[in-house]
Amino acid sequence: MRILVVNPNTTRSMTDKAAEAARAVAGAGTQIMAATSQMGPASIEGHYDGALALPGLLAEIRAGEKAGAQAAVIACFDDTGLDAARALAGIPVLGLCESALVTAGFLAQRFTVVTTLERSRVLLENLTRHYGFGGRAKVRAADIPVLELEDEHSGAIGKLRRQIELALQEDGAEAIVLGCAGMADLAFALQEDYGVPVIDGVSAAVKQAEALIAQRLTTSKRGSYATPLAKVYLGAMAGFAPRDK
């Protein structure tokens, strides 16, 4: 199996971390194809960054499918561009948030997502509701700029631990979901320390990708995710115009 992992921001070190997490859980026969967006923000913090990350993300999805990927993972916990990528691609596309929430749902009745910045908290609350976990998942922000996760001296991990502890004490959390692709390397150690399941979205999404490929399932092209209709796109977006088949 060949699974594409796209980092929709332009920071290569985050791509590397996601690819490493992906390879750590992938099956013996799975090849992880890692790609970094070539245009857009260096990190995705809030709605504006998310919107401008889309062209770069969709370009990588399209290129990866052409290069033989059988499924794609968007390595951002906001599930940026997930619906658009599903409409575009003939292969299944997985998001980190959706994958992590359903994984947590198999293990616990109540859990907490710990994310980076306050500006992403409500965005993720809305996502958890959209995915049907509104009554089961709480969301906490640890006040960590995304790129501080790349710097081991930033104090970011201490802030993250503090929110996990509050989730266990105050939220009645039975499991923890790490709400940023940049936390992928921390899941197993935190799970050992706190004695509850700690779910990383990259790992969860890669296993869902394998599961779909093995079941010969792909995105429905009936209704919501129908193939984009051929039409003219102008200006800097001209290259993205869908063509007739």
Distance of CA 202 to the CA centre of its chain: 6
Other CB atoms within a 10 A radius of the CB of residue 84 amount to 16
Name the minimum Å distance from CB 114 to its own copies: 15
Name the minimum Å distance from CB 108 to its own copies: 4
Q: Does 123 bind its own copies (CB under 8 A)?
A: yes
Q: Does 166 bind its own copies (CB under 8 A)?
A: no
Q: Does 119 bind its own copies (CB under 8 A)?
A: yes
The answer to whether residues 61 and 228 touch, using CB atoms and an 8 Å cutoff, is no
Name the minimum Å distance from CB 97 to its own copies: 12
# residues contacting its own copies (CB under 8 A): 104
Q: Does 243 bind its own copies (CB under 8 A)?
A: no
Angle at 214 between CA 75 and CA 97, to 5 degrees: 25
Q: Does 130 bind its own copies (CB under 8 A)?
A: yes
- Give backbone dihedrals phi and psi of 178, rounded to 5 degrees, phi first: -85, 120
Q: Does 229 bind its own copies (CB under 8 A)?
A: yes
Q: Does 240 bind its own copies (CB under 8 A)?
A: yes
Q: Does 212 bind its own copies (CB under 8 A)?
A: yes
Element (H, E) at 74: strand 71-74
Amino acid identity at 135: G
Contact residues for 110 (Cβ-Cβ < 8 A; gap 6+) = 136, 137, 138, 171, 172, 173, 174
Q: Does 138 bind its own copies (CB under 8 A)?
A: no
Residue range at the interface with its own copies (CB under 8 A); choices 81-89, 153-161, 178-186: 81-89
Name the minimum Å distance from CB 155 to its own copies: 18
Write each residue from 93 to 112 as x if it is in contact with its own copies (CB under 8 A), else as -, in one continuous string.
Answer: -x---xx--xx-xxxxxxx-
The answer to whether residues 54 and 85 touch, using CB atoms and an 8 Å cutoff, is no
Q: Does 23 bind its own copies (CB under 8 A)?
A: no
Strand 137-141 to strand 2-7: parallel, antiparallel, or no bridges (unpaired)?
unpaired
Q: Which of 18, 19, 35, 54 lies at the binding interface for its own copies (CB under 8 A)?
A: 54
Name the minimum Å distance from CB 158 to its own copies: 21
Name the minimum Å distance from CB 157 to its own copies: 20
Q: Which of 2, 23, 136, 161 lies at the binding interface for its own copies (CB under 8 A)?
A: 136
Q: Does 47 bind its own copies (CB under 8 A)?
A: yes
Strand 2-7 to strand 31-36: parallel, antiparallel, or no bridges (unpaired)?
parallel
**Closer CB to its own copies, 223 or 245, in the complex:** 223
Strand 137-141 to strand 111-115: parallel, antiparallel, or no bridges (unpaired)?
parallel
Name the minimum Å distance from CB 175 to its own copies: 5
Strand order in the sheet with 137-141: 137-141, 111-115, 176-178, 198-200
CA distance 88 to 172: 40
Place of tokens 């690819």: 19
